[in-house]
Copies of this chain bind each other. A is one copy, B any other.
Amino acid sequence: MSGTGRLEALSDGVFAIAATLLVLDVHATGAGDLTHRLLQAWPSYLAYAISFLTIGIMWINHHAVFQQIGRVDRRFLALNVVFLMVIAFLPFPTRVLAGHLRHDATTATVFYGLANVAMACTYSTLWFYAARGRRLLDPDADERTVRGISRAFLPGIPIYALATASAFLSSWLALGLYGGLALFYLLESSLLARG
């Protein structure tokens, strides 16, 4: 395998499993007939969709980031493990969100937002560790692409922190921002994976 091959394989595994485990927390509980219960389960569906897309986008960007990486060192491997630890934790705040959108919505959306902030922090650390002075970059990595990725990462932490804080105003506003940010990073062309 190439220098980053097994690292990407492990990361892909964690992305895929964390995303797929989300479905274990989709439930149609409560009283009433099945149709009613399936409809009432919408917070489960919403939380599933936001989290799956978030992980999916993280993965697409991970793909783009690793195309710039030429070699890895032990510290980078360790930072990647910490980043994956945060990714793999996401099913828990998702479950909390799904279970408390009707009651305790503020706490649940703040908690969910904090998980996103933690993802942004660990992801940025991973990238800037590799990119600083082109430490681990592929010698052929295009400088403009590299700068574009850095520009896309930089505002991540304050923006997610603001979105999290907005939950104290309205948990719906916060949910909308989480969804909107996912959309932004999905369409942000500077992270474009050229495959």
Q: State the A residues within 8 Å of B (CB).
A: 1-10, 12-24, 26, 28, 33-35, 38, 48-49, 52-53, 56-57, 59-60, 63, 71-74, 77-78, 81-82, 84-85, 88-92, 96, 100, 104, 107-108, 111, 186-187, 189, 191-195
Contacts and interface: CB of A to CB of B under 8 A. Distances in A.
A16 B14 contact: yes
A85, A192, A193 pick with most chain B CB within 10 angstroms = A85
Interface of A is mostly: helix
A167 to B, nearest CB: 12
9 contacts: A1-B8, A10-B12, A13-B16, A18-B20, A23-B91, A33-B107, A34-B100, A34-B107, A52-B84
Given A1-B8, A18-B23, A33-B104, 14 more contacts: A14-B19, A17-B17, A23-B89, A23-B90, A24-B91, A34-B111, A52-B84, A52-B88, A53-B82, A60-B74, A72-B193, A74-B186, A74-B189, A74-B191
Contact of A186 (B18, B22, B78): B78
